Structure 1
Amino acid sequence: MVSQIEQWGRGYLRRHPVASLETVGAQFVMGVRAIQCLVLDIATGRFAFQEFVRQAAFMIKTSYLPTLAVALPISATLSIQFGLIADQVGATSLSGAASGLAVIRQAAPVVTAVLLATAVGSAICADLGSRTIREEIDALEVMGVSVLHKLVVPRVAAGVVVAVGLTGLSAFVGFLASYLFNVFVQGGTRGSFLATFSSFATIGDMYLAMVKAVVFGMIVTIVACQKGLSTKGGPGGVADSVNASVVASIVLLMIVNVGFTELYTMIFPRQAL
């Protein structure tokens, strides 16, 4: 009985914690190599520009409508919550600054990243996973074609560019929705909303959102590519890889977002009104 428990414990450690560390290590290595290859390909003129354009167009077509559809209600929800809190403490004029900053600093990059992970990351993982089980990836390697240069690098570059663009679009739409909701639904004034927002917001807030977008885009594409290229077990394995890709991406995105937010808050403390 004791030996069976020990065997089960060792098997559990191999199947879960150790396997998780190996996966994170593989994703980190792929990320570093992808960045190196991206810089090298651009410098030497070997960057797969056509594949980059195709992937970017696919990502935009897949994710821009869901991103807008999610950004609007989240911005309205933030306006409601901050408006209620401001009314309770007698600081109604500050609701505009609070909701606007929340949209730019947190909502825009996080919404974009989550939509990329679910809509784009799953598609990338399914595509590469299907190629892997059909042995197309092995065929490319046999022919001497670098899978990293041919498939991974263009997707990473496209993911970063699309993430930055969608984050800017999401921030604009979210701010506009917060403004319209605060002014026309909650009875706020235009001048108060804009004045408090401009008093608190800085260009650094937008820089933070753009840096988050770059990192989030890399995380989503690298995790999806690694999971797709390591697919095993036939069509069922593709489904498992897609599920694991989405879950892992979202978990990593939330952890990295907390780290970015805390680091930015310590380096650039919020100024007083």
Structure 2
Amino acid sequence: MTPDPVPISPPATEITDWARGYARRHPVAALQTVGRQVTLGQRAVRHLVTDIAARRFPFGEFTAQAAFMVKTSLLPTVAVALPISATLSIQFGLLAGQVGATALAGAASGLAVIRQSAPLVTAILLAAAVGSALCADLGSRKIRDEIDALEVMGISVLRRLVVPRLAAGVIVAMALTGVSCFVGFLAGYLFNVYVQDGTPGSYLATFSSFATSGDLYLAMVKGAVFGVIVVVVACEKGLNTKGGPGGVANSVNAAVVASIVVLMVVNLGFTQLYTMLFPRTTL
């Protein structure tokens, strides 16, 4: 007597069931991930301050990680800042020419580079280059049980691995933001003067008239916060890697995507708060 054939559900039913299950699981998993990242960031910042005060901060690991981050992200940051700044110069130059305010092209493009382009480009490159590397490193250690071995030996993974990477990420992010500001402004100046036939004195005069030190402070604060976000998200994803080598790839992908999404949202919040707290009467 032959057994009854196993009924096969149609593809539409399988897709519907998966979508319903994903809709039930994803909000809870997302909240758990955000909670882990916030907790990790708070503990890492607290240990960073206390370890520096107690002279237990691992400066050797900090130096090695900072050198690695600079080597990994410096050239890509410069390479991306140049065309973006040139593109902004083109767009603002065309817009200024249409309204008969070509003298304001320097102020518009320069402020756009310092306020928005430089910190955001630096953060995205850090997330793509540095964040992926940090997540892959910690994820590989996780699946090789090195993280558990450190905990068994009484070595704090947070203090030994996360804290020096957090400090290095903040310092490197601020430094690269400054480099990106300089490169972006220089690229916009050269493009406006030598390609769009702008006046060098007008470009510099309008920029110095409207730009303030607060714009540079905002860029540096953005760089520091963005560095914290990139490192915390990458470390959290790496330390919670599961599923072998394939899980490392999934963690890296999730870390890069999550970092960029959070960076965009936080950048929007920074911009709106700065505009509300420090309004400009004229431009």
Give the shorter-chain TM-score range. Answer: over 0.9
Aligned to 2:229: 219
Aligned to 1:142: 152
Matches for 1:176-195 after TM superposition, within 5 Å: 176-195=186-205
3-state SS of paired residue (1:84): helix
Q: How many residues align?
A: 271
Equivalent position to 1:156, from 154, 163, 166: 166
- Letter matched to residue 138 of structure 2: L
Q: Does residue 101 of structure 1 match 2:111? A: yes
3-state SS of paired residue (1:16): helix
Aligned to 2:6: none
Give runs of ≥4 in structure 1 deviating > 2 Å. Answer: 4-15
1:5–1:159 distance in 2 versus 1, CA, 3 Å: closer
Q: Deviations over 1:210-246 (max 9, x none)?
A: 0000000000000000000000000000000000000
Q: TM-score if structure 1 supplies the norm length?
A: 0.96
Aligned to 1:67: 77
Equivalent position to 1:83, from 87, 90, 93: 93
Q: TM-score if structure 2 supplies the norm length?
A: 0.93
Tell me how far apart the structure 1 counterparts of residues 69 and 19 of structure 2 sit (CA, whole Å): 42
- Letter matched to residue 20 of structure 1: A
Equivalent position to 2:279, from 255, 265, 269: 269
Task: Give the superposition deviation at 1:14.
Answer: 4.5
Aligned to 1:23: 33
Tell me how far apart the structure 2 counterparts of residues 14 and 61 of structure 1 sit (CA, whole Å): 42
Tell me how far apart the structure 1 counterparts of residues 22 and 185 of structure 2 sit (CA, whole Å): 47
Task: Give the superposition deviation at 1:68.
Answer: 0.2
Q: Deviations over 1:64-122 (max 9, x none)?
A: 00000000000000000000100111111101100000000000000000000000000
Tell me how far apart the structure 2 counterparts of residues 269 and 108 of structure 1 sit (CA, whole Å): 21
Q: Deviations over 1:176-229 (max 9, x none)?
A: 111111111101101110111011100000000000000000000000000000
Q: Does residue 56 of structure 1 match 2:66? A: yes
Q: Does residue 167 of structure 1 match 2:182? A: no
Identity %: 75
Judge conservation of contact 1:122–1:246 (CA < 8 Å) in 2.
Answer: yes
1:9–1:65 distance in 2 versus 1, CA, 3 Å: closer
Tell me how far apart the structure 1 counterparts of residues 67 and 87 of structure 2 sit (CA, whole Å): 31
Q: Does residue 130 of structure 1 match 2:140? A: yes
Task: Give the superposition deviation at 1:15.
Answer: 2.7
3-state SS of paired residue (1:253): helix
Judge conservation of contact 1:200–1:271 (CA < 8 Å) in 2.
Answer: no
Tell me how far apart the structure 1 counterparts of residues 282 and 260 of structure 2 sit (CA, whole Å): 33
Report the aligned-residue RMSD. Answer: 1.6
**Which runs of 5 or more residues in structure 1 are unaligned?**
none
Judge conservation of contact 1:94–1:193 (CA < 8 Å) in 2.
Answer: yes
- Letter matched to residue 177 of structure 1: A
Judge conservation of contact 1:76–1:177 (CA < 8 Å) in 2.
Answer: yes
